[in-house]
Each structure stands twice: as C-alpha cells, then as structure tokens.
Structure 1
Amino acid sequence: MSENATPATKTVLITGTSSGAGLAAAVAAAQAGFTVVATVRDLDRTTALREAAHAAGVELDIRRLDVTEPDSIEAAISGVLATHGRLDAVVNNAGVGSIGTLELLDLDQIRYGMEVNFFGVLAVSRAALPHLRASGGRLVTVGSAYGAVGQPFNEAYCAGKAATETYMEALATVAAEVGVTVSVVQPGPIASSFGDNMPIDRVALRAAAEAGPYKAAYANYLTYLPGMIAGAVQTSAEVAEYVVYALTDPAPPFRIQTSDFSRSFVADKLVDVDGSAVQAITRQWLVPADTGVNP
C-alpha cells in the first residue's frame, strides 16, 4: 500500500459481494478502516449486503460490476476514481461453481465458468493495475484449495481456479517491480450461499450420472463428500479475516491458506511431484468406503 495513505483514506474495490465471502470481506474491510466499493453483478440482490453493513455499523459504496462485461468493469473503476480519487486495492472474489464431469457438461458451461473465474479476474486486474501502480497498492484474489488439488466432478471450477492462481503467481514478481503486491487467498469449503450460484441443474446432473457410466462413482462421491468436509467448513467471516490480512499486512505472502484443511490440502499437492499422492487421495472419494482403498 502507499506509504502516504492512512487506512481511513485507502479505497478497496471488491467483486462478488452479494453473498458469502465477498459480503463478509466487504464488511470486514470497512471495519478495518477502508473505504469499500462493494460490487455486485445484480443491484437487485444487495439486500443481504446492506443489512450486514447496517448491522456492523459501516458504510459501503455499492456499485454494479459484471466481470464478464468490459464496459461494466471500466464504468466501475472510473466511477471509483471520480468519487474517491484513488484505488489502493482490488479483491477479486466474484466466481461461479460447477458440478459435473467432462461428458456431463457441454463446452459452453465450461467456457462460462472460465469466463467468470479466470478471464473475469484478469479483466478486472488489468483495468485496475495502472491505478494500483499509482498508489503502490494490493491485488488480492480469492482462490481455492481446489485450485491446487483437482476435485472429482468439480473439474471446470478447479481448472478456473488453478489457471487464475498460476497466472497470479507468475504476475506477482512482475507486479512487485512496479510496486504492486499480489496475493492469493486459498479457502477450503466455506459455509455460504456460493452453491446457489452454480450454473448447473443438480437434479439434471444426478439423472445424467445415474443413467450413464459415472453412476457408481458419482453416487460414491456424493456419499463421501459431506463427511470429508464436515470438520473443514469455515464461515465466510473467518475467510474474510484472511482477506483483510492480505490487504493490511506489511509484507503478506503470495499464497495464504485460511484453515488447517486448506494448508494440508495444498501441501499435499506441492510435494506430490509425480501426482500419485493426489490421485490416491481423490480416488478414495469415488469408491465405496469398504473397498480398502486408502489415500
């Protein structure tokens, strides 16, 4: 962040704040002293955001921003500069989920996920970077532990997060040369309404899976998943604390896990040179519990 800006004068733009971690991050950043521009794709879906801000006793500048629309991105950022005179940080949080596997999704569904989770992040970041260079600012992206470890039947979502996190990892050293700090926050499972934004009909997906060659694997996955994540789920507010850390720490790391689960999950991948360990872990999600297959 710029050395001559106090917390009360720093402006952060956060995408995807209508619910979940984005909503919590907007409120937490405002409580930390930032001027928060909380953006949403649909201004008709801001009731929860406004109620949370009111309950916390903070003010938010709520604006429309659709990460898939270049004109929307430009309008939001130019509006921030016109109103607040500066942009000190961006938090890329907007995203969509995807449940399915390659034969059960069409390519348009996969492309849409990449458009939001990858190209949308790049579009917002690219538009913001000149202003972040001017302020010596921060570029923070909310990724996922599943961007490190590919999760069965979640391939498109994992691919988008992996592409984004790798891009940001490569960008971080370049951005640092011009005074911009880049970080990626990696949550594990979050208890939020994020699943409501998945562009897949779960009933239709189940029917397709049960009628096809993935019937057994998908059924085992649905049985195994709740138990696997039961002790790992975080609240959105807990994840938001790490977003604020990325915005305020004097020298934040590039990769920031938000829980023991995500730290362990990411660590498994980073030491798995040939991929066999991760394959063993994820394969157990697709087989009956009594087969004796171990992670």
Structure 2
Amino acid sequence: MVTGTSSGIGLHTAVGLAHRGLRVVATMRDTSRSDALRAEAERQGVELAVRALDVTEHDRARACLDEVTAEFGAVDILVNNAGSATFGTLEQLSDAALRKQLDVNFLGVAALTRHVLPSMRRSGAGRIVTVTSNGGVVGEPFLDAYCASKFAVEGLMQSVAPVAARFGVTVSVVEPASVVTNMMENLDTEALGVPDDPYRDLAETFLHAAGGQMVNGQAAEEAAAVVVEAATTDTPRFRWQTSRAAVDFVGLSLADLDGGTVLEAMSAWLD
C-alpha cells in the first residue's frame, strides 16, 4: 500500500513497486485525480489497484485498510508518502495551521502505521517505509510547521524501528532533498496574506531561493526509485537519502553537534 500517489514520488513509487511484480494498492484522497497514475501504469505495462484514502480521516483509513486486507490479504509493505507543506515562520502560524500540518504529516502516518503493525507482527515480517524529507533533519526557514512534522515522523520511526525489528518488521525513512514536483504550487502560503507583515521580505527571499532549488532538483522518478529500493532490498537500513544533494544536506545536521553549522547555512538562504 502506497499513500499519496496522485503525482510525484508517490505515483512513481506505486508504479515502480508494481514493476517489481508486487501487487500494489495505490491510495489518494481523491481518486478523480488518478489519471496520471493510471496512464503511467499503462505506459509501463503494469496493473495496480486505486483506492481513496485520506490519512487525516483515521477511522476511514482503518476501514480502507480492512477492505484492502479482505480483498488482497494483509499488507506486507506500507509506504507512507502522503504529505503537505505549510509556509510561514512561527509568529505567522495559527494553532489551526500547526494542527493541520501535524495531522497530515505526523498523526496520519502514525495512525496508518499503527493499523498495519499487528498483522506484520503476527506474521513476523513486513516493511514500513516513510518518505520524510531533508526537512525532517534540517530545520528550514519559513517551513517551521512542515519541518516540525517531519522531525516528529523521523523521531517516531526511529523509536519504533528497534522494537518492530524484534518482530521481524523493518522500519525505514527516505529523505529526499529538492525534487521536481508540484510542491511549490501546492504550498500553503496563507501566512503571507497579512498586510505590512514584517517577515514579508525575508519570506519572499526564501521562496525565491527554494523555488530555484525545486526547479533544479532531482526528478521524482529518481527519488521514487530509492523508495522502491528501501521497500524491497535484501539489505535494509533505517535512513535513506535519494541524491548526493540529500546526503550533503542531511549531513549538515547529523554531524553538527552544536547546531552552528545548520544555522549558518540556513541563514544564508535569507540573504
């Protein structure tokens, strides 16, 4: 089962797993947006099942999982890919905006993962792969809520991983850097709508820099190939980066014991 498959990494992950001979259930909030997925699957000569699933509707997500299990059998591999991004520094963000971001990127992932764990634990096998972000390791200006939610997912999965491993279940995270997707188009920039906002100039500078990173980023197909590898490899590991840029960016934080290197690098994005 792969979430968030209407476009980008999720779409290519679902098709890529099907290409490996796996029976794939591709989920998305609105199945009327499945045309691109179906077209790519047809182009590559693979079949997959498409189901509606909104990760924020926990009861409905559980019902979807039950329906999938009844039709196809227990889920052997779960790829948590669905997510969204909210723009704004903390002073600009309402409590509602923070909760919405956490609901999609953290609580939805946690709920769906919890749903699949019992059957995986009983069978003594399973893979849970969660697409996080380099923003789950490095806090980025004006992506406060997004990075907080991705940091939370990384912490959750790293905590679950050694426990799940005792029952034969492998937990991994995949950390893309800039990927050419429609994320910037879908970025929730409501926080920029305040007149005379003292953060506006800094925010626009960051958006310009981030937009350039996205345009020159990794292809979604390449990032998805790493997700597929993480889900199917005979030599799994916890943390995967999808590109050299992701390795370098994530490495800023993982090797930065006092935090100074990350703050200096991120400050440069505001100049």
TM-score by length of 1: 0.87
Distance 1:135 1:41, change over 3 A: farther
CA distance in structure 1 between the partners assigned to 2:103 and 2:41 by the alignment: 29
Q: Deviations over 1:119-178 (max 9, x none)?
A: 000000000111222250100000101110011011110110010011101110000001
Shift of 1:43: 1.8
What's the CA shift string for 1:44-95, capped at 9, x where partnerless?
Answer: 2211111111111111111111111122211221112111123211000010
Q: 5+ residue gaps in structure 2?
A: none
Kept in 1, the 8 Å contact 2:89–2:142? The answer is yes
Which residue of 100, 105, 108 maps to 1:117?
105
Q: Say whether the 8 Å CA contact 1:86–1:135 is kept in structure 2.
A: no
After superposition, give the CA deviation of every residue in 1:232-254 in whole Å (9 maximum; x if it has no partner).
x1111111111111111112110
The answer to whether residue 15 in structure 2 is matched with residue 27 in structure 1 is yes
Equivalent residue letter for 1:275: G
Structure with max Cα Rg: 1
The Cα RMSD (Å) is 1.6
Report the TM-score when normalising by structure 2: 0.94
> Aligned ranges for residues 166-245 of structure 1 at < 5 Å?
166-201=155-190, 205-208=191-194, 211-228=196-213, 231=216, 233-245=217-229
Within 1, Cα distance between the matches of 2:180 and 2:106?
Answer: 23
The answer to whether structure 1 residue 38 and structure 2 residue 29 are counterparts is no
CA distance in 1, matches of 2:93, 2:229: 37
Q: Secondary structure at the match of 1:95?
A: coil
1:99-110 correspondence to structure 2 within 5 Å: 99-110=87-98
Give the superposition deviation at 1:224.
Answer: 3.1
5+ residue gaps, structure 1: 1-12, 288-295
Contact 1:18-1:40 at 8 Å conserved across structures: yes
Q: Which residue of 2 aligns with 1:77?
A: 65
Secondary structure in 2 aligned to 1:29? Answer: helix
Task: Specify the alignment match of 1:14 in structure 2.
Answer: 2
What is the aligned residue count?
270
Is 1:153 the counterpart of 2:142? The answer is yes
Distance in 1 of aligned mates of 2:23 and 2:232 = 13
Cα distance, 1:197–1:230 mapped onto 2, change above 3 Å = closer
Most deviating of 127-136 and 37-46: 127-136
SS at match of 1:117: helix
